[in-house]
Amino acid sequence: MPYRRLPNTDTARLKALQIAVEKGRDLPPFNLAFSQNAFQKAQSFLTSFEKAILESKQAYDSQVDKNKEYLKTLKKAKMYISHFIQVVNMAILRGELPASERDYFKLEYGDKKTPDLHTEAEVIDWGSKIIEGEENRKSKGRSPISNPTIAVVRVRYEQYMDSYKFQKTLQKNYHRALEKLAELRPTADEIILQIWNEVEDSFAEFSDDERRKKAMEYGLHYVYRKNEISKLGTLKF
């Protein structure tokens, strides 16, 4: 025998509430299969729940939309930071700069490798180090590194930082919207449970099949268990 299954997604919750409110508006109280108390709860709650779902979707869409631009700025920043450090290392390898120049950039004295730039934190950290280090070098009369110059690296780095901060703001907005939605779910579940219980009670005098049929008009959802589906599949009509 199929059993009633309460909504377990926000979309399903919203649909259940919308159907209940629509029924409450279309039918007079004496024909409605649930109480006016439940109807008033659903009607007053529906708007805030719809708004919370819409805001979470908009926040998510904004984050996804801006992520492409963010990844582009990240890729550029990585490339320019990496190229700048490679130029420093090659100049040292050719003997044009002493190995001690690495100290300005917080690089290991004898380390010829480009540091890892796999994470946001590494890009931010190394970008800051080489910008600060090159400015210190120039203030002491050292010849500036070129191809790329630190000015070009700074532009790419600052573009990335602007994009990074904006993306983090979008992420916070999305998480805030999700938290708001999570706060509303228990109330949505409570209202739906009350309505569905009252609907089934209203049709209690009917046979099981007829009761389910009438209840489904109010949005109630019934499903078969796996073993019941298997049995139905073996029946021949």
pLDDT per residue of the chain (237 residues) written in tens, 0 to 9:
788 999 999 999 999 999 999 999 999 999 999 999 999 999 999 999 999 999 999 999 999 999 999 999 999 999 999 999 999 999 999 999 999 999 999 998 888 889 999 999 999 999 999 999 999 999 999 999 999 999 999 999 999 999 999 999 999 999 999 999 999 999 999 999 999 999 999 999 999 999 999 999 999 999 987 766 555 454 443
Distant-in-sequence, close-in-space partners of 124: CB < 8 Å, separation ≥ 6: 161, 164
The residue extents of the domains of the chain are 3-234
**Tokens 């380390």 found at:** 111
Quote the pTM value: 0.78
Per the structure block, which two tokens stand in for 78? 């990585």
Q: Write down how long the chain is.
A: 237
- Rounded Cα–Cα distance for residues 191 and 105 (Å): 61
What gap in Å lies between CA 18 and CA 47, rounded to an integer?
Answer: 10
Summarised one tens digit per residue, pLDDT across range 10-22 is 999 999 999 999 9
Cβ-based burial of 161 (10 A; exposed 0-12, middle 13-18, buried ≥19): middle
Beta bridge partners of 222: 4
Cα–Cα distance list, 222 to 17, 23, 186 (Å): 16, 19, 21
